Amino acid sequence: MTLADPLPRAALPALGTADADGSWPAPDHYSLAATCFPLQRGDGDPCFAPHPAGLWAAFRTPEGPASLLLTHAAGTLRARAWGDGAASAVASAPALLGLTDDWSAFDDEAYLARLPRLVREARRRNPALRLPSTGRVVDALVPTILEQKVTTLEARRAYRYLVRRHGSQAPGAGTVAPAGLMVAPSAEGWLRIPSWEWHRAGVGPQRSDTVMRALRSAAGLERLASRTAQEAAAALQSIPGIGIWTAAEVTQRTHADPDSISVGDYHLAHFVGYALTGERTDDAGMLRLLEPWRGHRQRIVRMLYLSGVRAPRYGARMTVQDHRFH
């Protein structure tokens, strides 16, 4: 999903009165699209939809579901929400918008001087990037489990299918919010999905069983949002089927963790090695390369991705599997 340049407030569509509303001065350098990009599971994620000056998102809060419209216009970031969870959704917006993500230590001149040139250049060209924090562990965990050991294409296809079949229509969808905007199932809703539906979605029993095990303690999972990213990651890894990769992918989104590394990723170690040394490496080698910047390793990885470096591909790519008709 892309975001056009911020529009003047007068150009925004009239939506009527929201159930909750909040606004904050936009930082001098800010990109709503770049900040929220990691939260979306591809352009077809049914829980998100584009807006001329921002983004729609739909999700559950402790008070109920909400449709949240985030916009960036005329130097202002604004959050408007509809539904029973509107007030909670707006209260969560500053962290979701990355406004609580502090890059000052990273951007200190002395620290920047220690970084590889391509990282410094990437940061200079991308001063608007911030890390979002949703605090919604279940919403981040389920699609991440679906991405374990399969291609991104098939994981996102499965997630779309399951949300559209077993989620619920977002508040105001088809009126104030776009038609088709969906709220993902609650933990109880995921647990009620029958085995044949997981099969039709192309999700094997190993991944669906991991979802079921994790969500049987959903209340405990959501309490992890109030703990540190490191504590949350350790707690997640105590659940059979959840390892360091899954925990890192979750805390990057729920806690804006600036240091977590997705160890075990199919491509990441090779990419980081190539970007920093011109040679491929493994997970251990990647961690050694990133160790001098511990505390900001996720920021380094994001800058490497924005640097324009593309590692050459070797060997066969991961094959897209289709288990639906087996």
Domain assignments of the chain as residue spans, ordered by start:
16-101
CA 35 distance to own-chain centroid:
9
The C-alpha torsion from 286 through 287 and 293 to 294, rounded to 10°, is 150
Q: Of 140, 122, 172, 155, nearest to 42 (Cα)?
A: 155
Q: Of 27, 108, 107, 24, nearest to 70 (Cα)?
A: 24
Q: What is the pLDDT of residue 53?
A: 87
Q: What is the pLDDT of residue 315?
A: 52
CA distance 298 to 307: 14
Contacts of 97 (CB under 8 A, 6+ apart): 24, 32, 35, 36, 70, 77, 79, 130, 132
**pTM higher than 0.85:** yes
Token pair for residue 78?
């604004």
Q: What is the pLDDT of residue 314?
A: 62
In contact, 248 and 233? CB cutoff 8 Å: yes
Per-residue pLDDT of the chain (326 residues; tens, 9 = 90+): 333 344 444 344 567 899 999 999 999 899 999 999 999 999 999 999 999 989 999 999 999 999 999 999 999 999 999 999 999 999 999 999 999 999 999 999 999 999 999 999 999 999 999 999 999 999 999 999 999 999 999 999 999 999 999 999 999 999 999 999 999 999 999 999 999 999 999 999 999 999 999 999 899 999 999 999 999 999 999 999 999 999 999 999 999 999 999 999 989 999 999 999 999 999 999 999 999 999 999 999 999 999 999 888 765 444 444 444 34
CA distance 324 to 32: 37
CA distance 78 to 17: 13
Pairing, β 20-25 against β 182-183: unpaired
Strand partners, 165: none
Instruction: Report the SS3 class of residue 21.
Output: strand
In contact, 111 and 120? CB cutoff 8 Å: no
Q: What is the pLDDT of residue 325?
A: 38
